[in-house]
Amino acid sequence: MEATLLVTGGAGFIGCNFVRVALAETGARIVVLDKLTYAGSLANLEDVAADSRFHFVKGDIADAELVRKVIREFRPSAVVNFAAESHVDRSIEGPAAFIETNVVGAWVVLESARNYWSDLPSMEKDSFRFLQISTDEVYGSLGESGAFTELTPMAPNSPYSASKAAADHFARAYHKTYGLPTIVTNCSNNYGPYQFPEKLIPLIILNCLDGKPLPIYGDGGNVRDWLFVEDHCLGLLTVLERGRVGESYNLGGRCERRNLEIVDLVCSVVEEYFPAARNPSMAKGGMKEYAQLKTYVEDRPGHDRRYAIDPTKVECELSWRPSLTLEEGMRKTIGWYLDHQGWCEQVSTEYRRERLGLVDG
């Protein structure tokens, strides 16, 4: 029997890329369960909607009755939990939704999976997997040197990362206590097609196109470790197929950059595709170069200074490595945003790229 993957949050950025990668790389049936919050959209899944192996259910992962029903109906061989509130700035403005989805929702999915899994015949029980998708932000902030390993103690600094850390602990506890075959992945910053424009890279791309200020929090010296989303998704499939249960795996591309370097790279690649001199929005503001739009703004409260993933475990144990460099991934990403400006309009009905997450703001 072919595998069935229940993909929660599959209408969001990483989830929809994962659905595409899983349909292409495996014969699995894919069932997406997604609440379609501001960050999720059926527009992200339009090209796979007609695939006979694809099914979509709209719903909340914190709705225990619904999750139980979906699991009983589709009988997944694995659950991949992407569903989450994912934006740090929004977690500063209002943490409640982060607790509801990232903590309570993740627990509901674990508990429903456990009830289903415990009644499975032994072969299906052994091969069942629960993959909890998490972030490097659970480890907190690094100084100038060093990198997060799977043994780094958790020290989350934002309501978002605290909520993700809680779910990671529950996934671990469900393995230790009940034997549920859970695995956690902690990945660094993703970028690529379908990322909601509140995140740094798509925001900078779209503001360049519109000749709007490029907001740089603090001094722009904060460091993030970047990974192209399809490489992350291929890594997740690898962990799902060959990862050891009860373990966590750090995924990252050894690609640390200061935010200012990212903004400069975006400006130079946008320039290649759509020179500022030919952009009417730039001419209107009297601007000649995209880099002139850079604007330093008030820092994010509790802003983590540096993240860096040490991916040695997944490289050595599972032979996973990213395939694209940052420059290659950035060209693909910017090309995609230029070709999909209608998508940007469609998903941005309630969000106008305003500043979010200032405590007194």
Site for ligand TDX in 318-357 (CB under 6 A): none
β-strand pairing of 256-258 with 223-228 = antiparallel
Q: Does 61 bind ligand NAD (CB under 6 A)?
A: yes
Structure tokens that stand for 280 in this block:
């009417």
Site for ligand NAD in 5-24 (CB under 6 A): 8-9, 11-15
User: What is the sign, positive or negative, of the torsion defined by CA atoms of 257, 140, 108, 85?
Assistant: negative
- Letters for 184-213 (x = contact with ligand TDX by CB under 6 A, - = none) are -----x---------xx--x----------
Site for ligand TDX in 32-71 (CB under 6 A): none
136 is catalytic: yes
Question: Which residues lie closer than 8 Å to 312 by C-beta, 6 or more apart?
Answer: 149
Q: Does 101 bind ligand NAD (CB under 6 A)?
A: yes
- Binding segment (CB under 6 A) for ligand TDX, from list 81-89, 245-253, 315-323, 331-339: 81-89
Please state, in angstroms and as integers, the Cα–Cα distance from residue 58 to each residue in 63, 257, 286, 289, following that order: 11, 37, 46, 44
Set 34, 60, 85, 136: catalytic member: 136
307 is catalytic: no
Residue with tokens 């379609």: 36
Check if the beta carbon of residue 136 is closer than 8 Å to that of residue 35. Answer: no
Q: How many CB atoms lie within 10 A of CB 184?
A: 27
Site for ligand NAD in 147-206 (CB under 6 A): 164, 187, 189-190, 196
From 7, 37, 265, 324, residue interacting with ligand NAD (rule: CB under 6 A): 37
Shortest-Cβ-distance residue relative to ligand TDX: 135
The listed partner (ligand NAD, ligand TDX, none) that binds 83, CB under 5 to 8 Å by sort, is: ligand NAD
d(CA 329, CA 352): 26
Site for ligand NAD in 223-282 (CB under 6 A): none
Q: What is the 3-state secondary structure (H, E, C) of 78-117?
A: EEEECCCCCCHHHHHHCCHHHHHHHHHHHHHHHHHHHHHH
Q: Does 238 bind ligand TDX (CB under 6 A)?
A: no
Give the rounded distance of the alpha carbon of 51 from its chain centre: 24
231 is catalytic: no
Q: Does 83 bind ligand TDX (CB under 6 A)?
A: no
Q: Which amino acid is residue 291, in one-letter code?
A: A
d(CA 232, CA 82): 12
Nearest alpha-carbon partner for 185 in 135, 144, 230 = 135
From 56, 82, 148, 170, residue interacting with ligand NAD (rule: CB under 6 A): 82
Shortest-Cβ-distance residue relative to ligand NAD: 12
Set 34, 60, 85, 137: catalytic member: 137
d(CA 166, CA 159): 11
For ligand TDX, the closer of residues 74 and 217 by Cβ is: 217
Q: Does 86 bind ligand NAD (CB under 6 A)?
A: yes
Active-site positions read 136-137, 160
- Residues forming the site for ligand NAD (CB under 6 A): 8-9, 11-15, 34-37, 39-40, 60-62, 82-86, 101, 105, 133-135, 164, 187, 189-190, 196
